[in-house]
A and B are shown apart, each in its own frame.
Chain A
Amino acid sequence: MALLEVLQRKIHKYGLVPKLIKALPIISLVCALVGTGWILYLPIDGQYRKTYISENALMPSQAYSYYRESEWNFLRGYRDELHNLVANSTIERNAEVKNYLTEAGYTAAEHHYTPSNANESGSNVYGILNAPRGDGTEAMVIVAPWTTSDGTYNENGIALAMGMARYFARWTIWSKNIILVIPENNQFALRSWVKSYHSSLDLTAGSIEAALVIEYPGSGDYYDYLEVSYEGVNGQLPNLDLLNTAISISEHEGMKVSLQKTPKDQIGENTYWSRLTVLFNGIKALALAGLKRSNGCEVFSGYRIQAITLRAVGDNGSVDITTLGRVIEATFRSVNNLLEKFHQSFFFYLMLAPRNFISIGTYLPSAVFFSVAFALAALSEILNCGLPLPVLVGSGTKVLLTFLSITASSLLLGSLVLFFPVPASLIYYTFLIFGLIVASLPTKQLLLAALARPWGKSNPANPYIQLASSAHLLHAVCLLYASLIITSILVVNFSLAYTMSICMLPLTFVRPITLRSSNYQENINAVSLLLSCPFFIVLLIGILDGDFTNGPVEVMQGLLTSWKDFDCWTWSIVIVGWIPVWIGSAVCGSLIVDESEYGVVDLKKDL
């Protein structure tokens, strides 16, 4: 305590408090820059860590894998049969596969579901191999969808999965049940299977510990390299041990592993730039998870299932199809060793390279800095606006009510939009145009007319003071709220928190204009509002991200449907946390002009 006292005395002596208060906007900006820079700093040598297997029971690649050429004939047999089914309907295909499964000794069943946007129902087929050893309360899942995420026929994938299923049935070592699922696709169809498995399916096999989604389109015998995806929705990731196990087994089998769709020629690289690329692609993928329908492992989110997707890429490489079989076999044997649920290692991490990662403690400060930056900006808005505190507090109730109603209406409209039977494109362009109008200059007068009147009334003698104080306070409340939102999601979904804070950062530059403010302030406000408009960001994502073939409309579609399809929270966070802050700041930025209507008075002098 003595040290604190000395510190406090020094602070008083040098009058640091007022100086610090004056510098608050700069401190806030510095915090934001540190937050951004932090991530750039992490891929530097010495900042990241090497992956390791934390759970000793896993023992990846310790047992010899027997899935070799002897099994190739069965695999080819299945593939030839499946090749003939390309033109058939899913019902016919499923009936056929169900036969294979029953023949192999599996208890097979079909699962019917109704897609959210169609009338006809789809169906998935799955089979269960009861564990020869063990009590059958746990299960491992292997998934091979009929269509891969690119929309191609997953011929090799299903043939391999069937071959594996047949092969697994001959082993007596399994202490966990094995479930083979062949869904129509690895998106909504698989999600509804996972949902039903945990609620209504008759044929189940205990709690699912791990799931592998296999994608291998085409009918060749060879492939180039393996792509591993691991992002779940709402910031959930599979336990790092599972990912490490899969990567270590794959590399042990002599194939190259690509994370975050690193192209073939860059896979072996491990430089600062390659790590940074993987890191940023990872953040982007996790922030957009659920919106982008591509992996298949995200559908297992929310049920404590560790899931990854293995995707064989290319068809003229040096790795043959049984190698992928051995990867699956060895991974299953590792998981089979587990006596407890995955609990060691990390659930929160960012990958830099297949064998390098950063853990939560290292990257979290960057989002914390953003949160602090917003809080400081809010504080600066209150302390540096030149109005005495009582005047500001006086407009507190009004401002809080205003902000509350903005949030409530955003939430209401945002949730109603989910149920509107209108195409996403219409909703999107309406919102985008609204955003552009609000951000641009001419409407300010319009907004004023609507909002200034009730705000100005309470103090008829000098109404602009009330107005100015309300504007400042509203902006402060918005920024504080933004800080709160970022803090609350930063542990759950760091990537979303980080992306959102960067997008919202321009809002801290929106300033009410007084006589003291510069001539450019109005333009700064407009640009800031435009840059941080959620729908403008959607536009940017749609244009810049090649995975969204339909552009921004597809992003919007993802935002709107992911709530119902995947229980993904991104849209709700946007309508609760982002849009209200943006509208509040826009209102605050628009109200400024009104001061001139009352005849601009230097507030400081007048008070």
Chain B
Amino acid sequence: MVKGYAFVLALGLALELIMTILFPSFSGFLDSAVEFSTPVTSWRSIEEGIFLLKHNIDPYDGGVVYHPPVLIKLFSQVKDLFGTNTTSWRIASGLIFQIADILTSIELIQISKKFLREYKNPKQGTYTVLIAIFYTFNPIKILSVLSNSSIIFSNLFIASTLYSMVVLENVALAAASLAMGTYLSYNPCFLLFPFIGMVINLKNHLSPCSSIIKSISVALIPFIATFTGLLYCSYIINNNNWNFLMATYGTNIFFTKINPNLGLWWYFFIEIFEFFSKFFIGVFNIYNLVYILPLTIRFQNSKFSNLQINNKYLIFPFVLSYGFVVLTKAYPTLNDLGFICQLLLLLVFQNDLKILKFLRYPIVSILLVIHAVILSPIFYYLWIFSGSGNSNFFYAINLVYSLGLGFMLIDFIWSYLSLEYLFEKNNGKEVDYDAKLRLTQI
């Protein structure tokens, strides 16, 4: 069945490639859609950066480019290969994003496969194919890949972090991946906390008496080395100028580019609230971080099964933390939603699908998210194009979207806690997962 899932992925890639070739304007259309593109992730901004770089103009001077220099430099190198042939460059650039996405899927599928193998699940092959279908043919995923959003690379490195930790068990590589993800889009830096937790836990399992300080340094040193290395490279590429820091990370932190998007931030920065904008910047940045530490600490030593696999890899706080990062970040897109769904599926397979049994309101959260995804372009249309709606319409639907996403995450926490409760109640003996739990509070 390995062939099965590779076949599905190849089919997905072919489909996306065909769409890129047949509909030249489609990716531009998606890139201008507020759901799939933000100033910090948009493809137009990368192309602008390439152009400016080529003409020896400082890309970060004009307030158009918000991508890190290394990414722009790499793309500009690739573009040079194609010369003036714009069609082949368009297809090739699309292909780069598609391959990055496929790699993400492969890494995540490998992790799921490892879990499935560990549980000796009889339907291993079928599940792998189903995961692949879910990853590849998810319409949101297809559209986000076609939109050439640079968040795809960041997602790739987050997936690589998990892959290196779970499949390769290589901490240094994982830390380096996380550093690259952070370098590309700032937000993954919050994952450092659950990541350190993961490393401590893994080291504990590999050699039970390893010291915490040592584990932390094993995680931190490669992270810091890679990150500073990348920053230094950027400094060199950017003609010995640090101004890219403000344009890339500064934009994310201080929300200097105020554009409507799917997130919770933008509405508070419109003109009439300008008086408070410094306060809001503070609040939202704290809000970004506020879920991360409690999640990391709470789930650090949680056990709910005798099986080694559950306790060895602490991906739960990692995935959940990223969920909350996506919920609270300054420039979210639907791409993030697609990636979070992919990550949540990992949790499902880590617990051999048992986590699904204790979800309380999956229908509500799925319906909320679906409605929000469908209504958001409609309300945006009413506001911007037909002029009969206003920004409140669009922000209201952003709130619904966030509510749906929040429900999804909280539901997973509840379900995980229920499993933990069952396990502890039975003192570690085999647990009857079909038992009807009548809990109102854990």
Contact = CB atoms under 8 A, between A and B. Distances in A.
B378 A492 contact: yes
A487 B386 contact: no
A484 B373 CA distance: 11
A211 interface: no
Given A8-B440, A347-B388, A347-B389, A492 B371 contact: no
Candidate in B371, B393, B440 with the most chain A CB atoms within 10 angstroms: B440
A577 to B, nearest CB: 12
B331 interface: no
B246 interface: no
A491 interface: yes
Contact of B438 (A12, A304, A484): A12
B437 to A, nearest CB: 11
What band does the interface of chain B fall in when counting residues whose beta carbon is under 8 Å from A? 10 to 19
Interface in A351-390: 375, 379
Contacts of A456: none
A488 B375 CA distance: 6
Contact of A491 (B363, B378, B438, B441): B378
A222 interface: no
Contact of B440 (A12, A237, A341): A12
Candidate in A8, A12, A237, A491 with the most chain B CB atoms within 10 angstroms: A491
Candidate in B375, B386, B438 with the most chain A CB atoms within 10 angstroms: B386
B393 A491 contact: yes
Given A237-B388, A304-B387, A9 B440 contact: yes
Given A375-B367, A379-B363, A236 B386 contact: yes
Interface in B386-442: 386-389, 393, 438, 440-441
A5 B441 contact: yes
A491 B389 CA distance: 9
Interface residues of A, number: 18
A9 B370 CA distance: 30
Nearest to A11: B440
B382 interface: yes
Contacts of A375: 367
B386 A484 contact: no
Contact of A484 (B371, B388, B393, B441): B371
B153 interface: no
Given A236-B388, A237-B388, A304-B387, A492 B367 contact: no
B5 interface: no
B440 A5 contact: yes
A491 B363 CA distance: 23
B375 A487 contact: yes
A302 B388 CA distance: 10
B379 interface: yes
B374 A488 contact: yes
Given A236-B388, A347-B389, A484-B370, A492 B382 contact: yes
Contacts of B440: 5, 8-9, 12
A536 to B, nearest CB: 28
A126 interface: no
B388 A348 contact: yes
B25 to A, nearest CB: 18
Contacts of A347: 387-389
A484 B379 contact: no
A492 B397 CA distance: 14
B442 to A, nearest CB: 12
A169 B13 CA distance: 64
Contacts of B382: 491-492
Contacts of A488: 371, 374-375, 378
Contacts of B388: 236-237, 347-348
Contacts of A341: 387
A333 B367 CA distance: 49
Interface in B363-383: 363, 367, 370-371, 374-375, 378-379, 381-382
Contacts of A5: 440-441
Contacts of A348: 388
Given A5-B440, A12-B438, A484-B370, A491 B379 contact: yes
B367 A302 contact: no
Contacts of B379: 491
A8 B441 CA distance: 10
Contacts of A237: 388
Interface string A224-236: 0000000000001
Nearest to B374: A488
A546 B442 CA distance: 65
A326 to B, nearest CB: 30
A303 to B, nearest CB: 9
Interface string A264-306: 0000000000000000000000000000000000000010100
11 contacts: A12-B440, A236-B388, A304-B386, A341-B387, A348-B388, A379-B363, A484-B370, A484-B371, A484-B374, A491-B378, A492-B382
Interface of B: 363, 367, 370-371, 374-375, 378-379, 381-382, 386-389, 393, 438, 440-441
Given A5-B440, A347-B388, A491-B389, 4 more contacts: A12-B438, A12-B440, A348-B388, A492-B378
Closest 7 CB pairs of A and B: A347-B388, A304-B387, A8-B440, A488-B374, A9-B440, A5-B440, A12-B438
